[in-house]
Amino acid sequence: MKRAHLKRNIRQIAFFATVWLFAALLYALVEFGLLGRLDYYPSTSNPYDFANALIYTVSGSFVMGLLQGSFEVLWLKRLFQRRPLWFKVIFKSLLYLFMICLFIIILAVLTNTQRLKVGLADPIIADNLAAFLSRFAFWSVVIYVGAILLVAMLLSEVSQYLGPGMLTNFFIGKYHKPFREQRIFMFLDMNDSTTLAESLGHEKYFALLRAYYAEMSDPILSNYGEIYHYVGDEVVVSWNLEEGLANGRCLQCFREISKRLESRESFFLDRYGAAPGCKAAFHLGEVTTGEIGELKKALIHTGDVLNTTARILGRCHEFEARALVSGELKRALPESNWNFEQVGTVNLKGKTEDTELYKVLWDD
């Protein structure tokens, strides 16, 4: 597994563990506040000690969060990627409900053996467990933990719509106040998209477009790209300067996308009767980044660099180039890894100064 994929999986799993951890802390504090000076649970008469309850609840919940996160990220997410939301919710709810009950039972048994200083086989453990399961105390815990599971799943789904790291950024208010930054942009466009749309029809073309974008996921992720937005058959990907320039990741991303589409040519031909190709334009520059919108929040970049990149993309056909790079970006890239051919200094529509353009010469 590539490093970028590993880091992303770890972050997603850690997110679930963190949600469970905070929920456990809240539960332990609420329980302590309700029991007050009591040293036993009124429902079962079992001994109560805040320190032990805190340790077992927090540590057990953290482990449960890691388990749920691992199931979700490494298995369930891929398994149900094409399923509708209602199906995901019903199946996952049943699975996690079973896991919750099993978790609480195991935690209760282990806690009682420590509190009562007896072994697992002692009859008093079974009696206390039966009493616990027959009371509302057990089901109240199930309901509470079930609510936390639902929150974790919903936040996870929302995070997918916003993109990696965006939910965290919105929570901490990173982009609440606009700020300036230097970024690299790649505008990537499907070749002959209009012709394909007309020949395939709306539904089949949309299915092709979905598969086309799906093939880009791994190359974008492995090269630390951030999907800014989709516009029909065009996708805009951006990088901060450090990550985009390192080893020419921005160009490597396009190379891997092109190779991926070429390797999947037979799949596209068999299923859709057409194999899509793509072209791209690259540029870097300063943008202002921040949140915008009242009815719907969105993160946007504003700056001349976006307009310029879009204009450069429009010149790919003229220069018969799979990828065009601006002079500014070309000079910033590690040239030892890439070969370029200057195609000229052109005047792009809407700009007063000419722009140097370079064709990327691919070695494969």
Whether the per-residue pLDDT at 153 is higher than 60: the answer is yes
C-alpha atoms less than 13 angstroms from C-alpha of 53 in its C-beta half-sphere: 19
CA distance 25 to 19: 10
The model's confidence at residue 264, banded by pLDDT at 50, 70 and 90, is very high
pLDDT, position 239? 93
Digit-coded pLDDT (tens) for 172-197: 656 667 888 899 999 999 998 888 88
Alpha-carbon distances of 321 from 61, 191, 259, 360, 362, rounded to whole Å: 55, 12, 16, 8, 10
- The rounded percent of the chain whose pLDDT value lies above 90 is 22
The model's confidence at residue 1, banded by pLDDT at 50, 70 and 90, is very low
Question: Which CATH architecture does the domain made up of 176-361 adopt?
Answer: 2-Layer Sandwich (3.30)
Burial class (CB in 10 A: 0-12, 13-18, 19+), 306: buried
Whether the per-residue pLDDT at 29 is higher than 60: the answer is yes
CA 93 to chain centre: 21
> Is residue 136 within 8 Å of residue 43, measured between CB atoms?
yes
Residue spans per domain, the chain: 3-162, 176-361
Q: Which alpha helices (H) appear in the chain, and where do they start and end?
A: 3-35, 50-71, 77-79, 85-116, 123-133, 136-162, 166-172, 193-200, 202-214, 217-222, 241-245, 249-263, 265-272, 304-313, 327-332
Phi, psi (deg, nearest 5) at residue 339: -120, 140
CA-CA-CA-CA torsion sign (340, 343, 346, 348): negative
Alpha-carbon distances of 64 from 13, 130, 152, 318, 359, rounded to whole Å: 11, 23, 12, 57, 52
Q: Which of 82-96, 110-124, 129-143, 289-303 has the lowest mean pLDDT?
A: 82-96
Digit-coded pLDDT (tens) for 196-207: 888 888 899 999
Whether the per-residue pLDDT at 167 is higher than 70: the answer is no
Q: Which of 128-137, 165-174, 189-198 has the lowest mean pLDDT?
A: 165-174
pLDDT, position 260? 92
Average pLDDT rounded to a whole number, residues 215-230 = 88
The model's confidence at residue 81, banded by pLDDT at 50, 70 and 90, is low
| DSSP calls for 187-246 | EEEETTHHHHHHHH-HHHHHHHHHHHHHTTHHHHHHTT-EEEEEETTEEEEEEEHHHHHG
Average pLDDT, whole number, for the chain? Answer: 81
Whether the per-residue pLDDT at 224 is higher than 80: the answer is yes
* pTM, 2 dp: 0.69
Q: Which of 343, 338, 340 is nearest to 354 (CA)?
A: 343
Q: Which residue has the higher pLDDT, 211 or 64?
A: 211
